[in-house]
Amino acid sequence: MKFERSTYLKIIFSSISFLLLFLTNNLFAQGSTSTAPTSVNAPTIAIDGSMASDAMWMGIGYNVLIFLLICIVIAILGRILKIYDLTLQMQSKKGIDWNKIMAMCFGLFLIVGLYGAYWEYTVHGSMILPDAASKHGVRIDEMFNITLIITTIVFVGTQIMLFTFAYIYRGSQLRKAHFLPHNNTIEKLWTIIPAIVLTILVVFGSLTWKSIMDVPVSEQRSALNVDITAHQFAWEVRYPGKDGKLGLKNAKLYSANNKVGVDYKDKNSYDDLTADEIVVPVNKPLRINLIAQDVIHSFYLPWFRVQINAVPGLPTFFQFIPTITTDEMRTKLDNPTFEYKLYCNKICGGNHFNMQKVFRVVKEAEYQDWLSKQKPYLNDQLKKELKMTVVQPADSVIKNKLAFNKL
């Protein structure tokens, strides 16, 4: 005991002396570079390298100092508590009952924690995405809400049980625990009830999932096809021309003028259009056809509950029906500059955090107007490169049976 206390004291004294030394050093340093900022959080552009570096070390030293001070305060508090405890025991009273204090802390944590969870649900919960702007998204949101209600009930119930049990059944010399090795009835109950609840969730989840991902072939045929090629760190957009069909692509055909590698052996390619943004008509089935050129990317439109990976060598697609136009969403959110944005949601390199594209949902008329202004993918440079002289009329390719979407 004596040994222990003396080492503690030694530590405290040596750290105090160390601190004092440190402080004086820092004070002197501050005198010489009094113009330099002291906070690490707001450094200015360094006029003088050494001055900035001094300031930096000052800032770090300052923070370390604060931390050491906190440590010392804690150590001293610990000592005081210990001494208090010992005096209590010397007066043959009961010492500090840490077991009880910890039990009370758990009780307190439960109350504060539940309030914290409530606060999170209401404050941060109001910052989440607005209602889905797509047909299937509404079903996802329903599924989400059902799951949220069930899990919140279980969350609150089990956490209350956990911490109240910890509080109520805190140890005491007077009591012996209740010897209860098992109870088959209750165990069966809490195996079967979660199983039933999960079965319900699985059934509804499967139905929702199937309805979203398993779009009937006939519906896929009637959808507007948009072709997206992802590469580091941009999305290339291609629309079908008048024939409504996208020409085939082949990554091997890549060139500076043919960035997505459109295959001109496929006659459907000739009238394809290129676009800088994705503009789609509202309430029309939309089929996004995806592929990546270099690494995996993910096509993520959170407002529409849409996400599918773009994988090199593996064409993927996602079909959905947007239901809220950008303008409507602007009014709804009371944000006149709002735009739907396409995120990349699969780590793809240094600029992953800024691989975006505007995704605009407009009325049909507006869409047609926009579409008519888009330029053909097959521009003059590409024609030259492909040694093409004649522009083929779009009508002649309609009869061609080669379709991109052989379904």
Partner 1 sequence: MATALTVNNPASVHSHEEHGEHHHHETFLTKYIFSQDHKMIAKQFLITGIIMGVIAMILSVLFRIQLAYPNTAFPFLETLLGRFAPEGRLDPNFYLSLVTIHGTIMVFFVLTAGLSGTFSNLLIPLQLGARDMASPFLNMLSYWFFFTACVIMLSSFFVQKGPAGGGWTIYPPLSALPKAMPGSEMGMTLWLASMVLFVASQLMGGINYISTVLNMRTKGMDLWKMPLTIWAFFLTAILGVLSFPVLVAGVVLLIFDRSMGTSFYLSDIVLNGAVLPNEGGSPILFEHLFWFLGHPEVYIVIMPAMGIASEVMAVNSRKPIFGYHAMVYSLIGITVLSFIVWGHHMFVTGMNPFIGGVFMITTLIIAVPSAVKTFNWLATLWRGNIRFTPAMMFAIGLVSFFISGGLTGIFLGNAALDINLHDTYFVVAHFHLVMGSAAIFGMLAGVYHWFPKMFGRLMDEKLGYLHFWLTFIGAYLVFFPMHFMGLDGVPRRYYAFTEFESMKQWLSVNTFITWAAIMSALAQVAFLFNFFYSIFHGKKATQNPWNANTLEWTTPVERIHGNWPGEIPTVYRWSYDYSKPGHDQDFIPQTVPFSQTMTSNLPHDFEDDPDVEKLQSEWIKQNSQEVK
User: If binding is defined by CB under 8 A, does position 216 make contact with partner 1?
Assistant: no
Answer for which of 22, 62, 144, 370 binds partner 1 (CB under 8 A) is: 144
Q: Report the b/e string of 37-55 with b at 16+ CB within 10 A.
A: bbeeeeeeeeeeeeebebb
CA distance 206 to 40: 52
By the rule CB under 8 A, 247 interacts with partner 1 = no
| Beta carbon of residue 112, minimum distance to partner 1 (angstroms, whole number) | 9
236 within 8 A of 259, measured Cβ to Cβ: yes
Q: Which of 308, 371, 394, 403 binds partner 1 (CB under 8 A)?
A: 308
Q: How far is the CB of 6 from partner 1 (least distance, A)?
A: 11
Nearer to partner 1 by Cβ, of 231 and 367: the residue is: 231
Q: Which residue has the tokens 């039933």?
A: 196
Which H, E and C letters describe 19-80, residue by residue? HHHHHHHHHHHHHHCCCCCCCCCCCCCCCCHHHHHHHHHHHHHHHHHHHHHHHHHHHHHHHH
Binding window for partner 1 (CB under 8 A); candidates: 14-22, 150-158, 240-248, 324-332: 150-158
CA-CA distances (angstroms) from residue 41 to 32, 53, 55? 21, 14, 11
Q: Does 226 bind partner 1 (CB under 8 A)?
A: no
Compare residues 32 and 158 and give the one whose CB is closer to partner 1.
Answer: 158
Burial class (CB in 10 A: 0-12, 13-18, 19+), 378: buried
What token pair was written down for 242?
């008048």
Identify whether the C-beta of residue 256 lies closer than 8 Å to the C-beta of residue 192.
Answer: no
Structure tokens at 386: 């492909």
Interface with partner 1 in residues 50-69 (CB under 8 A): 52-53, 55-57, 59-60, 67
The verdict on 371 binding partner 1 (CB under 8 A) reads no
Cβ atoms of residues 286 and 252 within 8 Å: no
CB of 27 to partner 1, least distance (A): 21
In this complex, which beta carbon is closest to partner 1, that of residue 37 or of residue 244? 37
Is residue 295 within the footprint of partner 1 (CB under 8 A)?
yes
* Residue range at the interface with partner 1 (CB under 8 A); choices 24-32, 250-258, 280-288, 377-385: 250-258
110-139: which residues touch partner 1 (CB under 8 A)? 113, 116-117, 120, 124-125, 127-129, 137, 139
Query: Which range, of 100-108, 262-270, 321-329, 376-384, touches partner 1 by CB under 8 A?
Result: 100-108
Stretch that binds partner 1, among 209-217, 262-270, 363-371, 387-395 (CB under 8 A): 209-217
Describe the strand order of the beta sheet including 357-362 as a list of residue ranges: 278-281, 357-362, 340-344, 297-301, 306-310
- Total residues interacting with partner 1, rule: CB under 8 A: 128
